């Protein structure tokens, strides 16, 4: 049975920080230890983040706040016992938080990190976990690291939907944090209220769609406009709605995922301007309208790939924000960037990076690998 997908954050307590260089604004930190059981019951296999880091280095943020970046990971060192990351902080004068982070790491008043990741391959089989003892409940073999943060107290798992951790598992993680003294009872209760299920979102999605997904900065900007509406991980611009997912068989789903993955390999990230706001649909959803010039081509391509179904009669490019509250007032000069394409069948989602360049020739081997990766993730969901 498909699992609920969530993005996650993982606390790394009392990290060894080396090579603090104030002039260069750099340091190196051990963020993952291999082949040992962490406080979440996870075991990280050597090389779990290698492919992710070779593709794109994670950003460094203050307290996991996407609106408060303070630097970037510039290199990584795969060692036999763990993963070391070298960080380049931003200019201290231009970004005071970067100066604060360096000073507190140097003094030792801040010595913990937390990183945000998306798991892509893991095992819960007893035979795989047996070598690590009774405390191991999962072996992570491949994951994508999106960002890391120096923190005063190790962060708890995130709550928006893209990778695997159930609300009950998150609650157990919080309890572990409190029991081990890495979080106060008050902070634990506060965090628990943030991951509690939203009764309004109890119904699982049943439709199927192809949509563009905003990049980190755009998602953070739109999420701020939503003011309690959809979270950053749920924001998207629908290209094609394919109707009820139950009516689309496995063969057709596989075709759509493969074709969209191929299309994504030829398509560069899309930049569009804000066109205004509106109420749309029978529920008067609050939406941000985006200019259509840069999206019509994407819509037409997706409509050719997607199976026959309940396509929208008209294409009104927009990002839904919330079902209640005042109409948002976005900055019309704001540029929105979409760097991924999402294929969703009910609650099962596959995201593929837009990595192409207009007019560039494709490497067939790389394209085949991208398609295989997407299909592997799809079949891992249980279809």
DSSP codes of every residue in 137-166? -EEEEEEEEEEEEEESSPPPP--STTS---
How many CB atoms are closer than 10 A to CB 333?
A: 7
Spatial neighbors of 206 by CB under 8 A, at least 6 apart, are 244, 245, 246, 346
Backbone angles phi, psi at 309, to 5 degrees: -175, -150
Average pLDDT for 221-248:
84
Binning pLDDT at 50, 70 and 90, where does residue 157 land?
very low
Average pLDDT for 164-186:
51
User: Is the pLDDT reported for residue 325 higher than 80?
Assistant: no
Element (H, E) at 59: strand 59-62
Element (H, E) at 176: helix 167-179
* Residue 202 CA: distances (Å) to CA of 150, 198, 206: 34, 7, 12
Please report, rounded to a whole number, the percentage of residues in the chain having pLDDT higher than 90.
18
- Compare 68 and 72 and report the one with higher pLDDT: 72
Name the residue ranges covered by the structural domains of the chain.
Answer: 8-195, 203-380
Mean pLDDT of the chain: 75
Backbone angles phi, psi at 50, to 5 degrees: -55, -50
CA–CA separation, 305 vs 285, rounded Å?
27
User: Is the pLDDT reported for residue 145 higher than 80?
Assistant: yes
Coil, strand, or helix at residue 340?
strand
Binning pLDDT at 50, 70 and 90, where does residue 210 land?
very high
CA–CA separation, 149 vs 36, rounded Å?
22
Q: Are 125 and 141 in contact (CB under 8 A)?
A: no
Q: Which CATH architecture has domain 203-380?
A: Alpha-Beta Complex (3.90)
End-to-end distance of the chain based on CA atoms, in angstroms? 8
């Amino acid at each position: 049975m498909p699992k609920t997908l969530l993005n996650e954050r993982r606390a790394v307590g009392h990290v060894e920080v080396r090579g603090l260089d104030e002039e260069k604004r750099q340091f190196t930190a051990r963020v993952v230890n291999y082949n040992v059981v962490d406080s979440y019951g996870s075991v990280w296999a050597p090389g779990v983040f290698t492919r992710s880091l070779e593709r794109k280095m994670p950003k460094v943020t203050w307290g996991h706040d996407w609106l408060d970046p303070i630097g970037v990971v510039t290199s990584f060192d795969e060692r036999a016992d763990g993963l070391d990351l070298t960080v380049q902080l931003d200019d201290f004068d231009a970004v005071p938080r970067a100066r604060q982070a360096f000073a507190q790491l140097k003094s030792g008043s801040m010595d913990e990190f937390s990183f945000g990741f998306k798991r892509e391959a893991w095992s819960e089989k007893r035979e795989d976990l047996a070598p690590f003892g009774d405390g191991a409940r999962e072996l992570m073999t491949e994951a994508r690291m999106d960002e890391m943060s120096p923190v005063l107290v190790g962060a708890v798992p995130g709550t928006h939907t893209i990778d695997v951790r159930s609300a009950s598992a998150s609650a157990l993680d919080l309890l572990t944090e409190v029991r081990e003294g890495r979080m106060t009872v008050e902070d634990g209760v506060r965090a628990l209220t943030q991951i509690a299920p939203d009764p309004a979102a109890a119904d699982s999605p049943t439709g199927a769609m192809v949509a563009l997904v905003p990049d980190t900065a755009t998602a953070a900007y739109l999420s701020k406009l939503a003011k309690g509406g959809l979270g950053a991980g749920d924001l998207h611009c629908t290209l094609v709605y394919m109707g009820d997912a139950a009516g689309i068989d496995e063969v057709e789903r596989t075709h759509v995922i493969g074709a969209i993955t191929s299309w994504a390999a030829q398509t560069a990230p899309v930049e569009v301007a804000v066109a205004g706001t509106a109420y749309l649909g029978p529920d008067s959803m609050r939406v941000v309208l985006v200019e259509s010039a840069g999206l019509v081509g994407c819509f037409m391509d997706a409509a050719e790939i997607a199976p026959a179904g309940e396509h929208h009669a008209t294409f009104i490019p927009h990002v839904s924000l919330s079902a209640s509250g005042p109409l948002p007032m976005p900055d019309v000069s704001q540029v929105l960037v979409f760097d991924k394409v999402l294929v969703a069948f009910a609650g099962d989602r596959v995201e593929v990076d837009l990595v192409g360049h207009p007019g560039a020739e494709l490497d067939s081997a790389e394209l085949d690998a991208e398609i295989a990766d997407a299909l592997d993730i799809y079949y891992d969901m249980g279809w």
